[in-house]
Structure 1
């Protein structure tokens, strides 16, 4: 399966909220909070749609990178149940990391539920390292958060095309 990644807008809110509530249950963010995140100048949210079907949102992810900040934070990432384990989560994280680099971030942080080993493994494969645990962070479930960090390698410009 292939997806098209584009910047999310408030028009995507209903689709994002549907994935949010089905994925996170009692931890789901409210519509008001998601609307605020989508509208903030300090955030960058993306959605994934199947190629040729831009009206179907199958995943989303959000990054917070205030202007001139050297640290970015992956706020959230979720993939619709029917397309999990197909590589979309990896695509979304890589897109956020690319944006973080463009905005000048040198490090990216995230929190992941301690009871989500699949997500932890994905982040570790992408170079994130566990740096801390926040006990009882996810409420009302009282689940610990594993805090992870990735130091971004600087962008290395490639050779100019056509230069001799």
Structure 2
């Protein structure tokens, strides 16, 4: 899976993890577009969907949700609880999925922290989706260089 640092563990979750993923997402995206438990449960029933959760000292700290179809993987969402941000957990989650090959994602033009993370992990901008989010804001399409 991923080489864990002391006190950090990584675990893959299926549909049974939907309540936890929804809670983590809500905490990480306060004031933003939040996905509910039903959304996560539905996504996790799709073939190729996978959730990877990172815990710090046995406390769930964040997760990455991906979907792989043939030879492409999409990062659907990445969330790290605010009190665990700036510890490198987001980067470790992204690095854990990089071996999947070609990866793409959409990120809000206003989410500077996430954009910086993806650039640091080797992603490049590939396009722009105008009005992509519910609030009408644009999304940058990014792809891994692999």
- Range class of TM-score, shorter chain: 0.7 to 0.9
| Equivalent of 1:58 in 54, 61, 68 | 61
SS of structure 2 residue aligned to 1:65: strand
> Deviation of residue 10 (structure 1)?
2.9
Provide the residue aligned with 1:37 in structure 2: 43
The gaps in structure 2 that reach 5 residues or longer are 1-5
> Deviation of residue 21 (structure 1)?
1.6
Provide the residue aligned with 1:151 in structure 2: 145
2:131 pairs with 1:136: yes
2:22 pairs with 1:17: yes
SS of structure 1 residue aligned to 2:130: strand
Provide the residue aligned with 1:89 in structure 2: 90
| Contact 1:62 1:96 (C-alpha < 8 Å) held by counterparts | no
Provide the residue aligned with 2:3 in structure 1: none
Provide the residue aligned with 1:117 in structure 2: 112
Which stretch of structure 1 is more off in the superposition, 78-87 or 41-50? 41-50
TM-score, normalising length: structure 2: 0.87
Distance in 1 separating the partners of 2:82 and 2:11:
20
Q: 1:44-98: CA deviations, max 9, x gaps?
A: 21111124x2xx21101111112xx121111110000100011000000011112
| Contact 2:14 2:50 (C-alpha < 8 Å) held by counterparts | no
SS of structure 2 residue aligned to 1:136: coil
> Deviation of residue 15 (structure 1)?
2.0
> Deviation of residue 115 (structure 1)?
0.5
In the TM superposition, structure 1's runs of 4+ consecutive aligned residues that sit over 3 Å from their partners are: none
TM-score, normalising length: structure 1: 0.78
Query: Of Structure 1 and Structure 2, which has the larger fraction of its residues in strand?
Result: 2
RMSD over aligned CA atoms reads 1.6
Rg: which structure is higher? 1
Distance in 1 separating the partners of 2:22 and 2:115:
23
The gaps in structure 1 that reach 5 residues or longer are 153-164
